[in-house]
Structure 1
Amino acid sequence: MNKIDMTESVPPTIRDFLEAGQWKHALFTTYALSLSYFESEVLRPLIQAGCDDIWLVADAQGYRASLLERRSMRVGQEYRLVPVGLPNGVFHPKCIYLSSPEQDVLLIGSGNLTFGGHGRNAEVFEALTPENHATAFQDYADFLLGLGTRSDIQTGLTGWIDEFAARAEQASRRGTDDSSTPPIRLLHPLEAPISDQLVDAVSIRGACEELKIISPYFDPNGFAVQNLAERTDAQKTIVAVTSPQGSPFPFADAASWKKPVTPKAPVLSGQKFVHAKWIELTTADGTVLLTGSVNATRKALTTTDNVELGVLRLMNERISFLDWTESDAPSFDADTQMPSGLGSSEIVFARFDQRDTRILKGSLLSLQETEGSWTYRLTQADGASVAGDVTVKDNGSFEVFNENLDGFAELPALQIALKRDDREARGWVHNDLLLSIGSRRRLTAGALSRLMRRDGTDDDIQALLDYLSVQADKHLRIFNLPVASDDGEDAPKDTDEQTVSVLIDDLAPMPDLDNIEGFKNPAGSAGQDHFETAMLRLRRMLLGHGRKIAVSRADNADAVVAEDEENDERQRSNDDDAYRLGLKEFERSLDQMIKDAEDRPDALKGLLVIQLEVGMWMRLHRLDDLDSAREFLGRWFVNATKRGLAGEDNLSALTQHIFTSAAILAAFADPYSETTQLVALHDALERFCSGIVDEPNALESLVHDPKTGFASTLLPELDEDALEAALKSILSTRTRRRQLEDALRLAERGDDIPSDWEIFGTPLGQSLHAKLIKPNWNKQIKRAIPNYTACSHCWCAYPIQELNQFQSQRIGHCIQCKKFSLDIEP
């Protein structure tokens, strides 16, 4: 971030912070909203600096008002606008969170995202950075996560919550607090009223001598001010007079309180509308100051109805940042009461599917029943429209498939209206594909060339992960082609590493991928698409890697030399690097793609391969983190095998990776629990094959050469026969399913059932064995109903712990009827 001098007499503007860094991610939260201001004054400098992940989150009232700005050409295409609705309050925090790989800054204040809130009004903003305010960043992460857990808060999209919470937490972890003062904290009313938290903060700092309040809004009877003054036992209360024409605070009524209120005027420059919120308490031991979005009203200060955010400073000195002058009490001028809560109003958030613009998804925010048939109409500012019927679920979500939608996907200023009887809800429509274009532009020919040469910079790696996070499904055929070791022409000249052979002739041209800078088919060429060829060679690099160290700086300095960074106060961790390079965001996107592809087996296979090959290469050869790679391989194996994707297919990359990963994991097996681990691996392979594993086919699928893939890096001591031996050891170990099947067969014949089988090694297994050897065992134990995850005796659903045991150990034990159900289906 460019240096901003906070000590100058003229404080920095919002624009100064927007232009102070090469921000990659930006989150704005607001109550009132002006799209014309945002697009002209805020969006432009962010985009010019290369920021392509911009989120604007607004209260339902501000979102509704923005729908009148029909000529907004950028909403839904260059930034996301997400509404938030509450039943009895408003979404009121005014925050700006700017993040880049090098720097984060958090602005929390009183100003809305409007011309007035960012300049014309008298506002207060606190600028926080993790270098001095690490605790505040953790508080901000907790605040965002709290939004996601409040069941009464409705929002059109929730992905931004986890994403920016993760960034704030990461910033907090690498930061620190200023040791000269108590750490700055953030207060919000998601769990307890702000007033309760203020009272707690003041109570441990001695008697409250003076309470000073600046607020543009008050209760007509001054309830919140009186409540706070009495609970803190303030000896003197001062309420700001910001206009001689009148005040929304009832000074005349407050004169009869036990401790009268004194009017004073804060010294502020200019004749601006004072929209700042300021609560200052002077105590025997120092000063407590709260700024931010919290008005001096009952709703904002003493309830949990609103969503607010304030900055709390605990100072060890009795100081004030403002000067105050004497003032007469002005006449009472009651506030106009603003809407609070969704009420009977309804709004919509909608977006085109990232990969198929004939699909429109969305959410209806409403306090009324939403389930049933509605009509929808998409309308562009110039009048073009498309309409149809849609079914809305009871949670407000809906999905439309219409061939005619494709022609509207790229139109700007697109809005949707949902109608049902006399009800109508409106909202903006977003294009997820266009919103992702910014990241794709960075994957250039030069970036791919450097990656294929193993000279990729950090920026190149970020660009690749960004691209694959939105376009992975365009390359499924490449990533599901089988692999084999090869000493061909692509072998690195400076290493003795082998590379991976994937035949280019196996690929058909895919002209729809001809959209990346630097890769074009020659005019009139019907041959192989050049970008596909580049991606194929990139995959060879992922699996045949080599040992070249990536370059991370513009001067081509070595990225993995800690000695070069001795001037840094703190070295980056592997987690920091993974976050900075975008690995976590890439994997979140892949997880969602995999979830969306559950009913498309071919797509699912390719996505799982991409997830493994990119994830392992990053951990082993960019982050140099063997422990993380081993853990990731185990998680991926469990997730990939549970889907039964082997089927009757010919050899594919997924099948190869499944059996090779099993062999690698077996080679890692702990000698003290080797049998248990081998049984678990064999169980997983049976699930993958939907039945007994055919050993010849399994061995044929195994990538025997440990230098092809990841085995030799994880276990350098492996020889060429080690993986085959490990896989054979798995397949020679009886699975849990087979052990249970054999146990039932022995019980039916009245034969002895050995108690030392692995399946009986747990307390649950021991209890099962005790039942099996009794004469009337068949009244307590039965085969589970296939694909049924409840008790097969009394049909009661298993609680979560028992369900996990049933799915992992194949033994269901009902806490209702105390009987056992055994899953012996492949």
Structure 2
Amino acid sequence: MSLSFFEAVLLDALVRGGGREALILADIEGVRAGLSEQGARRVGRDYEVEPISVTSGVFHPKLSALVADGECHLLVGSGNLTFNGWGGNLEVVEHLHPGFAADAIDDAADFFELLALADNIRHGAVDPCQAIANDLRKSTRGRARNGDIRLFHSLDGAISSKIAEAVDALGGATRLVAAAPFWDSGKAISQLCEAVGLDHVFIHAHSGGTVQGKIGSNWPSQTSVEVRAVELNVLKEEKLRRLHAKAFEIICRRGRLLVSGSANASTAAMGAGRNVEACVARFQRDRIVGWTYVPSSPPQAIDPGDDADDGGEPIGILRAVLEGDRVSGQVLAPAMTGAASVFQITTEGPRKLDDVYLADDGSFTANAPGLEVQSWKGGRLVVRVQASDGSAAEGFVSLAAFTEMTRRAGALGPRLLAILAGNETPADVAAMMSWFHEDPRRMTQAAMPISGGGAGVRASLEDQTVEVADLRKVRTSVPGTDRTAAGGAGWVRFMGYVFAALREKRGPLEQVGTVRNVDADSEEEGDTTEEVQAADRAVDHSMAVFEKFLDKMLSPGLVELHAFRALDLTQYICERLLPDQQRAKGWLQRLLDASTRIEIPDDRRELVSAAILTLLGTRIDESELRAARSRLVGIGADLHGDCPSPELARGFHSVLDQNASFPELWSQVRAIRTFREQARTYLDALGRGQPAGGYGELALAAKDEFATMADAFASERSRKKIVVMKQWSEACPKCHRTLPRIEIGKLRSTAVATARNCCGHVLIWPEEREHG
């Protein structure tokens, strides 16, 4: 098995064809080979590999089931999952469909059901096997059956016995022709000849040679029947390839039987209770003319290949599933129990995860903090279990939540993974924003903090809940059997990782950097290449989609739920897409205006404070200083405490030039007073009945009203003309008439206005937030 081949050739084709889940069931030897391939990077995430351990043989079928709702295609052949198996060698493969091979599809369903239940086979794919069997049976409902095509497998008896029964049903054999790369001494083919009543067999001697194996021979040398070497015309090629096909033709008195698939002409393959094999049997009931051939000579004997190992025991094989911060798994071979340590295998060497105790069946559970987010960002995960006696086993780790992610995210899944890995494109960004825009509730499905600053997080109820329907029970006999067991919890964690990735320091996208560099270097528009122009259009489209989504996030009814996610996304867009300053400043202004309409949790206060100082840093004057202080006071920021960290506003700083440092801005904001603060100082003094200092700037800004305000200390009549508003309104609280526009503006800017179109009272709004 070559996972590099699968990833390079087949996996991408499956994905492009709409495939969402890929599972490889492989013998432990195949998995061992896959572990040695550093080029295989997507295993455990984009597809699954389940090791199969057969007690007295190997797991050897070459069967591919492509299933969908009520539909399937089945490939049964001789080729391994390698470059040679899919083109380099001479192989044979049968393509089956319920439309003409319903019986064989049903046989395949039986195969997967028996595989799930077999006592002599150890694996963790019981549930997937049963699911595949169900899908195969569903595809044959209502289909015609004639018994002409069947699937022979070894899970319910010897393949040689099934061939003998089929030959008997066709009236008995008159000729047997066989082609295979591997043979035993001749016992298996002799027994087959005797079972069908023949004293000789024709065996194909391939002029291109045969694939060299680790066991067996390339020719049966000790048979009890006559062997006649021939060269089959059907297997002749202009460009010779090595033979790896396994095919048998038996001419019968009432037809012809063709058998091809994974089974070599050996006792382990053709007999019972040894290898797991699968072959297609075609019954041609009227045909009596078979393959043509010419006489040939037996090939030169080839010794089995040498593994050239160091003479030590091969590494054992395990299976493992990662869910959250825990790895659950089982050592399949060899038998291992007792105290052990679990390591993650990295390019830098083993990294210890945890000490565990292996149960009698080899199962274990290890703590693995931080491993899940690492796996989402790309690359395969391999763990090793090392026992105290020195025995060890390795295996791929599958990500339990991946199936749930692909189901929920659909076509967006690869784009979200690209964002996690940091190699997204502007098109990925636009797709993510459109996906969020379709259903903003998707943003609430994050378990981790989705904004910077603070040590804690106040998650909404929607953040903390998981739909009961998304939860699955995990099969207990083999830990971590069902990837979907993570259910909604895995999806919540995944979305948390996505938002965490949005806050990472990454700089502009590669395409954006290319566009900006060309803009800086080119003197004329014609200097830009078509590729750069396309990238520029993609960036503009991404920002347009984001602005549309920002409108939705900040709309009434959604702003309380999404304000901080909007802040995260805006910083991400600024850092990755580099919008112009005016555009970015407009976004920041809108976000800060929205923050006045919501309650700011303690753990988000520093983040919002950093955003406020960033906006102030773009333009510093007395009016902007007061506006910044008003916002800070309004969110409950501690102006006597430490200055917020500029790192929290890193995304905005990537595009908004700052005219002063945060400490300088913080010092200036602390020194000034807002008009509302001065209004509160005035009201405190009025309550005491004694004028005081601290509101002189307000007196200058509200000259028309301050005559009445100053006189109120001595005049009860003037005092009654002053109305303190208990809640924000653009209407007079006494007459309920909307104030003139100029007075509404004064109330907002200086905290003082006059109800000129009604009672003439002086109105004071002392709160820093209109929606406080």
By how many angstroms is 1:412 displaced?
A: 1.1
Higher CA-based Rg? 2
Summarize the Cα distance change of 1:363–1:58 in structure 2 as closer, same or farther, 3 Å threshold. same
Contact 2:328/2:363 (CA < 8 Å) preserved in 1? yes
**2:651 paired residue number:** none
SS at match of 2:37: coil
Match of 2:105 among 137, 142, 145: 137
The alignment's C-alpha RMSD in Å is: 3.8
Q: Which residue of 2 aligns with 1:213?
A: 178
8 A Cα contact 1:359 1:402, kept in partner? yes
CA distance in 2, matches of 1:522, 1:149: 52
Matched residue, 2:192: 228
CA 1:338/1:309 → structure 2, altered by over 3 Å: closer, same or farther?
Answer: farther
For 2:393, which of 422, 425, 432 is the aligned residue? Answer: 425
Q: What is the CA distance between 1:196 and its match in structure 2?
A: 1.2
Contact 2:68 2:135 in 1 (8 A): no
Q: What is aligned with 2:74?
A: 106
Structure 1 residue 366, shift from structure 2 partner: 2.3
**Which amino acid letter does the alignment assign opposite residue 399 of structure 1?**
T
Matched residue SS, 1:234:
coil
Alignment of 1:28-67 (within 5 A): 33-67=1-35
User: Is 1:302–2:299 an aligned residue pair?
Assistant: no
Q: Structure 1 pair 241/320, CA: closer, same or farther in 2 (3 Å)?
A: farther
Alpha-carbon deviation of 1:399? Answer: 1.4
- Which of 60-69 and 201-210 deviates more? 201-210
C-alpha deviation, 1:526, in angstroms: 6.0
Pairwise CA distance, 1:304: 1.9
What is the DSSP-based 3-state SS (H/G/I as helix, E as strand, rest coil) of the residue aligned with 1:41? helix
Residues 1:332 and 2:301 aligned together: yes
Q: Please, which of 19, 36, 44 is the counterpart of residue 68 of structure 1?
A: 36
C-alpha distance in 2 between matches for 1:408 and 1:478: 23
What CA distance in whole angstroms lies between the structure 2 residues aligned with 1:478 and 1:217? Answer: 54
Query: Using the alignment, how far apart are the partners of 1:437 and 1:129 within structure 2?
Result: 30
Cα–Cα, structure 1 residues 315 and 40, in superposed 2: closer, same or farther, change >3 Å? Answer: same
Counterpart selection for 2:130 from 155, 162, 165? 162
3-state DSSP of counterpart to 2:98: coil
- Displacement of 1:514 after TM fit? 8.7
Instruction: State the shift of 1:49 in Å.
Output: 2.3
The question of whether the paired residues in 2 share the 8 Å contact of 1:133 and 1:184 is answered with yes
Q: What is the alpha-carbon distance in structure 2 between the residues aligned to residue 119 and residue 289 of structure 1?
A: 22
Query: 2-side partners of 1:318 and 1:406: how far apart?
Result: 59
What residue in structure 2 maps to residue 364 of structure 1? Answer: 331
1:542-557 map, 5 Å: none
- The amino acid across from 2:240 in the alignment is Q
> Could you tell me whether the CA contact under 8 Å between 1:76 and 1:435 is conserved in 2?
no
Residue 513 and residue 213 in structure 1: after superposition, are their counterparts in 2 closer, same or farther (change >3 A)?
closer
User: Which of 49, 59, 65 is the aligned partner of 1:81?
Assistant: 49
- The change in CA–CA distance for 1:478 and 1:416 in structure 2 (over 3 A counts) is closer
Judged with a 3 Å threshold, the aligned counterparts in structure 2 of structure 1 residues 132 and 528 are, in CA distance, closer, same or farther, namely: same
Match of 1:527 in 2: 560
Q: Name the residue aligned to 2:367.
A: 401
User: Contact 1:208–1:235 at 8 Å: present in 2 too?
Assistant: no
Which residue number corresponds to residue 491 of structure 2?
none
Would the aligned equivalents of 2:70 and 2:138 in 1 still touch at CA under 8 Å? Answer: no
> How far apart are residue 384 of structure 1 and its match?
7.6
Deviations 1:86-107 (Å, cap 9, x if unpaired)? Answer: 1210000001111223631000
2:255–2:288 contact (8 Å) kept in structure 1: yes
Deviation at 1:203, TM superposition (A): 1.7
Query: Equivalents in 1 of 2:125, 2:337: separation in Å?
Result: 19
Contact 2:208 2:242 in 1 (8 A): no
Matched, 1:92 2:60: yes
Counterpart residue type for residue 45 of structure 2: Q
Asked if residue 351 in structure 1 is aligned to residue 384 in structure 2, the reply is no
- SS of equivalent residue, structure 1 residue 261: strand
Shift of 1:61: 0.3
1:385 is displaced (CA, Å) by 3.1
The one-letter code sitting in structure 1 at the alignment partner of 2:345 is: T
- Unpaired runs of 5+ residues, structure 1, are 1-32, 445-459, 481-509, 533-826
> Letter of the aligned partner of 2:300 in structure 1?
S
Q: 2:249 touches 2:290 (CA, 8 Å); kept in 1?
A: no
Taking the TM superposition and a 5 Å limit, the aligned residue runs for 1:771-790 are: none
Q: Distance in 1 between matches of 2:16 and 2:253?
A: 50
The residue that corresponds to 1:699 in the other structure is none
Q: Does 1:119 align with 2:152?
A: no
Query: In the TM superposition, what is the alpha-carbon distance from 1:174 to its structure 2 partner?
Result: 4.2
Deviations 1:277-307 (Å, cap 9, x if unpaired)? Answer: 1111111111111111010001101232111
- What is the deviation of 1:233? 0.7
1:286–1:378 Cα change, 3 Å: same
Which of 283, 291, 301 is equivalent to 1:314? 283
Q: Residue 137 of structure 1 aligns to a residue in which SS?
A: helix
Q: Which runs of 5+ in 2 are unaligned?
A: 413-434, 448-460, 469-493, 503-544, 566-772
Cα distance change on mapping 1:174 and 1:80 into 2, 3 Å: farther
What is the match of residue 627 of structure 1?
none
SS at structure 2 position matched to 1:527: helix
User: Taking structure 2 as the reference length, what is the TM-score of the superposition?
Assistant: 0.52
Instruction: Tell me which of 134, 151, 154 is aligned to 1:189.
Output: 154
Shift of 1:72: 1.9
| Matched-pair contact (CA < 8 Å) for 1:121–1:274 | yes
Q: Given that residues 130 and 174 in structure 1 are in contact (C-alpha distance below 8 angstroms), is that contact kept between their aligned partners in structure 2?
A: no
Aligned twin of 1:390: 356
| Partners of 2:58 and 2:276 within 8 A in 1 | yes
1:603-651 alpha-carbon deviations (Å, 9 max, x no partner):
xxxxxxxxxxxxxxxxxxxxxxxxxxxxxxxxxxxxxxxxxxxxxxxxx
In 1, Cα distance between the equivalents of 2:564 and 2:363? 37
Counterpart amino acid of residue 62 in structure 1: G
Equivalent residue, structure 2, for 1:237: 201
Cα offset for 1:137?
1.1
Q: Distance in 2 between matches of 1:367 and 1:425?
A: 8
SS at match of 2:331: strand
Change (3 A) 1:242 1:344: same
**Counterpart residue identity of residue 312, structure 1:** A
What's the CA shift for 1:319?
4.4
With over 3 angstroms needed to count, the CA separation of the structure-2 counterparts of 1:43 and 1:387, relative to structure 1, is same
Aligned to 2:118: 150
What amino acid is the match of 1:233? G
Change over 3 Å in CA distance of 1:175–1:414 after alignment to 2: same
CA spacing shift, 1:530–1:302, aligned 2, 3 Å: farther
Asked if 2 retains the 8 angstrom alpha-carbon contact of 1:386 and 1:404, the reply is no
Cα distance, 1:471–1:56 mapped onto 2, change above 3 Å:
farther
Q: Deviation string for 1:411-451 (max 9, x for gaps)?
A: 5122101001210111111222234322222399xxxxxxx
**Is the 1:212–1:238 contact (alpha carbons within 8 Å) kept by the matching residues of 2?**
yes
**Aligned runs of 1:501-512 on 2, under 5 Å?**
512=496
Q: Which amino acid aligns with 1:387?
A: L
Q: Within 1, Cα distance between the matches of 2:466 and 2:281?
A: 54
How far 1:477 sits from its partner (Å)? Answer: 4.4
CA offset digits 1:128-162 (Å, max 9, x no partner): 01111111111111100101111120114332201
Question: Offset of 1:114 from its aligned partner?
Answer: 0.3
- Give the partner amino acid of 1:363: Q
Counterpart of 1:261 in structure 2 is 227
Contact 1:251 1:332 in 2 (8 A): no
SS at match of 1:53: coil
Q: Aligned partners of 2:563, 2:316: CA distance in 1, in Å?
A: 49
C-alpha distance 263-76 of structure 1, shift in aligned 2 (>3 A): same
Task: Please state if 1:414 is matched with 2:378.
Answer: no
